C-alpha cells in the first residue's frame, strides 16, 4: 500500500489530479499494481494532462463500481456481460424505476460508490436517483476500451449486443444536455463579481481579492478560458505587447495595454498549435497588478493563498478555480448553484452574441473548433430578438 502511494505521489508531479494524501490513498485502495503501471506508462508516453486526468478518474470509478457490483476487481479483458451490466447500472428508464426499485443501479451499489465519494449524483426529492448522463457513460466506456488497448488487450466493447444495448439505453435514458454552468457569466454579471474584489470601506483589496479579480477578468477576456487552462497558466505564456488603440479604426483613440497569452496544449489543441489570444485593457491591468503584488516572475500565474493570506508556490487546481467563481457569486448575492467556472466561457460567447460580434471573430478568441457548439450560445442569446417568433404579433 505504501509503495503504491509513493508511486502515485511521483505521478502527481505531472498529474495534479493525484495530488494530496487523501486522494492518493483513495486511489491506492481502488487501483491495482497493474492499473498504476498503466497510468505510469501513459504518463511516460506524453498523454495530455487533461486526457490523463479523465482516464484516471474513469479508471478509479470503474474499479470502484466493479468491486461494489461484483465483489471482484475489474477483469482484463472485460467480458461482454460485465460491460452490459455497467450500461444497465447507469442508463435506465426513470418511469420504470419509480415502480420497480430494482431497475437500474441497485441501492447497495450506489451506497458503496457514495461511501467512496465516487458517485456525486444526489437523490431527488422523491428519493429516486436519475440515470447518468449518456455522454458520461459513453466516455467511461471509451476510457475502459482505451485502457484495454494500452494493455495490448481487446475487450468486447464493439460486440453487437453491447452496441445494441447502448443504443437502446441512450434512447430510453437520454435527457437534454445540461449546461456545465446553469447561467452564463455575462458582462453585467461579471461586474457584480468584480465588485466583491474591491476591498471594503475600511480595508484595501487583499492579495486574494487582487488574484481573484485578475482570474475573473483574464478568464473572461481571453475568450472564456477553461478552468484547467487558468489553473495551468504559466508566467512564460505571457508576452507583453505595445499599447493598442481602443478603436482599431481610429488611431487617435485612447491607447490600452495589451498582452498575448499563448495557450499551449488545451482540450482541443496541441501545444504546437498557434493558439495565442490577445488581452487588451482592464484584464491586462488586473493581471499586471496581481503579478506585481504577488511578486511572480516565473512558474504558475494563479497560485493558492492560505487562510492567513500567505502566497503558496503551488498553482490553483481546476477545482479551486471553480470554488473561487462560486465564492464570488455568493459574495455578490447570486446563487452559487447557478454558476460555475464554465460560466466564464459561456458568458463570453453569450456577451459576444448580445453585442452582435460575428461568431467567427468570437471563436478566434474562445478557440472553439466546433461551429455548432459555439453557435448554440449565439442561438440562445438571439432567441428573444428573432423576428420569426413575432409573426402573429
| 363-374 pLDDT per residue, tens | 888 787 777 677
pLDDT at 30 > cutoff 70: no
Report field, pTM of the whole predicted structure over 0.85: no
Q: Where are the alpha helices (DSSP H) in the chain?
A: 2-11, 21-30, 33-44, 49-70, 80-90, 94-99, 107-115, 134-150, 160-173, 187-195, 207-221, 227-231, 282-294, 318-331, 342-354, 359-366, 371-382
* Grid coordinates of 259: 498582452
Provide the pLDDT for residue 155.
80
By the 8 A CB rule, do 8 and 27 touch?
A: yes
* pLDDT category of residue 323 using cuts at 50, 70 and 90: very high
CA pair distance 11, 20, nearest whole angstrom: 12
Could you give the CA distance from residue 79 to residue 41 in angstroms, rounded to a whole number?
24
Please give the full DSSP string across 164-175, using - where no structure is assigned. HHHHHHHHHH--
| More confident: 286 or 136 | 286
State pLDDT tens for residues 110-147: 888 888 888 865 554 455 677 888 888 888 888 888 88
Closest CA to 210 of 280, 291, 139: 291
Mean pLDDT of 290-312: 92
Highest mean pLDDT among 97-111, 163-177, 284-298, 360-374: 284-298
DSSP secondary structure of 357-372: --HHHHHHHHT---HH
327, 332, 335, 338: CA torsion to nearest 10: -80
Inform me whether the pLDDT recorded for 182 exceeds 50: yes
Contacts 24+ apart (CB under 8 A), 269-272: 269/367, 269/369
Amino acid at each position: 500500500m505504501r509503495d503504491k502511494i509513493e508511486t502515485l505521489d511521483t505521478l502527481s508531479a505531472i498529474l495534479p489530479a493525484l495530488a494530496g494524501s487523501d486522494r492518493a490513498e483513495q486511489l491506492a485502495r481502488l487501483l491495482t499494481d497493474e492499473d498504476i503501471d498503466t497510468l505510469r506508462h501513459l504518463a511516460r508516453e506524453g498523454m495530455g494532462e487533461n486526457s490523463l486526468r479523465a482516464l484516471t478518474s474513469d479508471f478509479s470509478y470503474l474499479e470502484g463500481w466493479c468491486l461494489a457490483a461484483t465483489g471482484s476487481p475489474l477483469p482484463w479483458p472485460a467480458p461482454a456481460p460485465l460491460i452490459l451490466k455497467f450500461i444497465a447500472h447507469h442508463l435506465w428508464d426513470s418511469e420504470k424505476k419509480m415502480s420497480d426499485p430494482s431497475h437500474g443501479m441497485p441501492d447497495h451499489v450506489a451506497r458503496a460508490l457514495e461511501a467512496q465519494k465516487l458517485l456525486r449524483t444526489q437523490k431527488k426529492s422523491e428519493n429516486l436517483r436519475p440515470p447518468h448522463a449518456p455522454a458520461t457513460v459513453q466516455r467511461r466506456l471509451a476510457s475502459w476500451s482505451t485502457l484495454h488497448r494500452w494493455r495490448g488487450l481487446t475487450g468486447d466493447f464493439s460486440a453487437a449486443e453491447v452496441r445494441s444495448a447502448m443504443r437502446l439505453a441512450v434512447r430510453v435514458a437520454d435527457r437534454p444536455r445540461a449546461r456545465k454552468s446553469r447561467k452564463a457569466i455575462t458582462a453585467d454579471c461579471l461586474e457584480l463579481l468584480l465588485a466583491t474584489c474591491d476591498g471594503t470601506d475600511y480595508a484595501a483589496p487583499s492579495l486574494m481579492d487582487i488574484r481573484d479579480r485578475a482570474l475573473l477578468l483574464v478568464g473572461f477576456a481571453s475568450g472564456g478560458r477553461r478552468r484547467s487552462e487558468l489553473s495551468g497558466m504559466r508566467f512564460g505564456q505571457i508576452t507583453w505587447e505595445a499599447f493598442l488603440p481602443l478603436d482599431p479604426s481610429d488611431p487617435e483613440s485612447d491607447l490600452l495595454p495589451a498582452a498575448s497569452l499563448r495557450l499551449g496544449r488545451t482540450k482541443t489543441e496541441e501545444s504546437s498549435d498557434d493558439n495565442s489570444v490577445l488581452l487588451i485593457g482592464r484584464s491586462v491591468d488586473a493581471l499586471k497588478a496581481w503579478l506585481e503584488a504577488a511578486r511572480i516572475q516565473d512558474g504558475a500565474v494563479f497560485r493558492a493563498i492560505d487562510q492567513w493570506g500567505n502566497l503558496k508556490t503551488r498553482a490553483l487546481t481546476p477545482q479551486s478555480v471553480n470554488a473561487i467563481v462560486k465564492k464570488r457569486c455568493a459574495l455578490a448575492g447570486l446563487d452559487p448553484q447557478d454558476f460555475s467556472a464554465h460560466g466564464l466561457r459561456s458568458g463570453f460567447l453569450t456577451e459576444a452574441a448580445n453585442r452582435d460580434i460575428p461568431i467567427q471573430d468570437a471563436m478566434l478568441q474562445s478557440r472553439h473548433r466546433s461551429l455548432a457548439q459555439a453557435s448554440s450560445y449565439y442561438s440562445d442569446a438571439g432567441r428573444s430578438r428573432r423576428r420569426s417568433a413575432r409573426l402573429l404579433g
